[in-house]
Structure 1
Amino acid sequence: MVNVTFKQEPVTLLGKEVAVGDKAPDFTVLSNDLKPVTLNDSKGKIRLISVVPSIDTGVCSEQTKKFNQEATSLGDDVVVLTISVDLPFAQARWGATEGVKNVQTLSDHRDLSFGEAYGVAMKELRLLARSIFVIDQDDNVTYVEYVNEVTNHPDYDKAIEAVKKLTNNQ
């Protein structure tokens, strides 16, 4: 079981922890235009899923911009998704302001479908815990990072390396 803190205070994660080797759980989140998006919508692609508590805060913003920058070098077979519980309108506004075009921002605000499926919904805050998931073309989880302290950055290099490892095996 993953132990996660937010500002050094323990939080309870709802849902089942996902591990390398698991079949990626399905989920339904909302795009910025309020359309439902599921894991199946990117079937056949490598998915890097970057999970942030709130996109318009320091570390979350930096994390999303970092993966936006990296996305251009990952190739057409890779989809980069950032999921938070921010409203889709706020995500769209933030993306336009920050010039983020290579990452699809998705909202789990409606029912925490992603958060509970991937074990990252923080019960006490109704936010998602910072985490990274890499899923291959066959929906297998190949990389997982649950960041122990939600206010810290993930290991960007390891996540990108996990994606590149999959792109080299094609």
Structure 2
Amino acid sequence: MATRTRLTPEREAELYEAVLDLLAEVGYDALTMDAIAARTRSSKATLYRQWRSKPELVAKALQETKPPGLDEIDTGSLRGDFYEILARTDDSKLERDSALLRGLVQAVHHNPDLHEALREQLVEPEKRELDAVVRRAVGRGEISAANPAVEFVAHMLVGAFFARLIIDDQHPDKAYIMRYIDAVVLPALGV
């Protein structure tokens, strides 16, 4: 991994936000390290010293701007945990994230490095955190470990984003996701 010694946490946060803003504006394929450097008043050398590549920087920006500690949420019920996860974001972030995800899904088909970086830095860690929330529900006796839907919780939640975009031509908001959790995810899990 590249050496990351010169940037303050505040400066890194600024860079990540700028990367996501640019990504939303121009899409992944048109996003360049030159554009990121210009937007953030950085040098390309600084960017490459901190992150080896554009895929790594984009994946890290997505990872670092998500709400922290989802696996530590424990309200005492699975529904409460899902609702607490949603409480840690807002509708404008959900709209931006769904737009970014839609664009990135296209890009991963043509860019294996991006696919690998997203899986390594975003998808797998988020799935592990979500699995921890579900395991606690199993441990509390809320859902059966033998329920076949347990392995598809992440799939159902990601599906909610894309279904809302494709079927309804709308970005998912918290109210929609809460309804989806209550109508689809929890019943599938036997809650």
If asked which structure has higher relative contact order (CA below 8 Å, sep 6+), I would say 1
Normalised TM-score (structure 2): 0.22
| TM value normalised by structure 1 | 0.23
User: As a proportion of its length, which structure holds more strand?
Assistant: 1
Q: Which structure has greater helix proportion? A: 2
Larger gyration radius, structure 1 or structure 2: 2
